[in-house]
Each structure stands twice: as C-alpha cells, then as structure tokens.
Amino acid sequence: MIATPRLVLEPISVKHALACFHDFQDHSLYSYVPQAAPATVAELEERYAFLEQAKAPAGEVWLNWFGKSISTKRYVCFVQATVFLEKSTALIAYQTFLPFRRRGFATEACLAVIQHILEEYSINLVVAEIDSRNEPSIRLVKSMGFLQRSFKPNADFFKGMPSDEVEMVLDLRMKAPL
C-alpha cells in the first residue's frame, strides 16, 4: 500500500473487479487504447486474479494499484508500472475514472508510484507510451517533468484507425528525487 495526501494506493486484487466494474464501462477510457470495456464482472475478476498471482518474466516486476480517495472512499484511478530490472527502467500507465478527472489524482498517484519504484528498484528512467491524440495524458506527464523522446508513426492499428505514439521519458538521473 502507498499513501498520498488524498489517496491510498491498494495493490490490485480480485475485490477491485466488482468495486470498479461500473467505472470501467466508461467508453472514453478506451479511446486511445486497443482494449474495450470488460463485458462482465467475472471477466474483470479473472484478469485481476491472474495479475495477483502472475509471475512476471525474469528481470521484470509487474506492479498494479487502484487509487482510493481517502475522503470519499471511492476508487478514482488505476496505475500500473512494469519495472525492467536490468535496464533500471520502468514503464508507467494510468487511467482516471470519469468523475475524478482534472482534479490531480492521476498526477498524485503517478508521482507516488514513481517515488516508490525509485526507492524499491533504483530505477533511472520512467517511460510513458501515449497515443499522440491523447493530449490530456501528454500534458499530465509533461507536468511531472517528462520529455518527449520519440514519435512512432503507425505504432499500432486498432478500432479501424492507425495510432501514432509518443514516448515520454522522465530521466531520474537528471532530476532531484521526487
């Protein structure tokens, strides 16, 4: 568990499936990713059971949290990080549920996760791969000090459209700890 001023970040568990299923039905969460909303709570439970028990490939650590508001007791966001131990690098991704967007929850949760993985795994670089159309997400990582490292045209193709991707990086060797 990770605590911030407004959130408690809970490691993912099967209990989150029922608690968050309704929030994951918001189709705007899937505008810039190939996934679709889960069809049933059971589908989400199965995914979370896998993530709870899965062994990451050698040299990787998979970390997943749900951010719960301390004041409202509602889940407001999801943050995941994949740590690549040999490269001292982490890949981070996040989603904020619709009623809680534009309130700083994603920034707060992501900064707490970055601090956690910096302390636990001595990472040097954090990477966020973002669909180039997802301007709010790009603004969010820029606000945390991420810089664009690359642009990948046609990085993916889903929902009948090509998707370009920007790779945003936070080089922790260049910055003071968070």
Taken in order of first residue, the domains within the chain and their CATH numbers are 2-171 (3.40.630.30)
- Pair type for strands 125-131 and 89-96: parallel
Burial class (CB in 10 A: 0-12, 13-18, 19+), 80: middle
**What's the pLDDT tens digit per position in 33-90?**
888 999 999 999 999 999 988 888 999 999 999 999 999 999 999 999 999 999 999 9
- DSSP E strands, 12-158: 60-69, 75-84, 89-96, 125-131, 147-158
Please give the structure tokens belonging to residue 78: 């999801």
Model-level pTM greater than 0.85? yes
Q: Helix (H, G, I), strand (E, B), or coil: what is residue 44?
A: helix
- For 141-172, how does the pLDDT look when each residue is reduced to its tens digit (9 = 90+)? 999 999 999 999 888 888 888 889 999 999 98
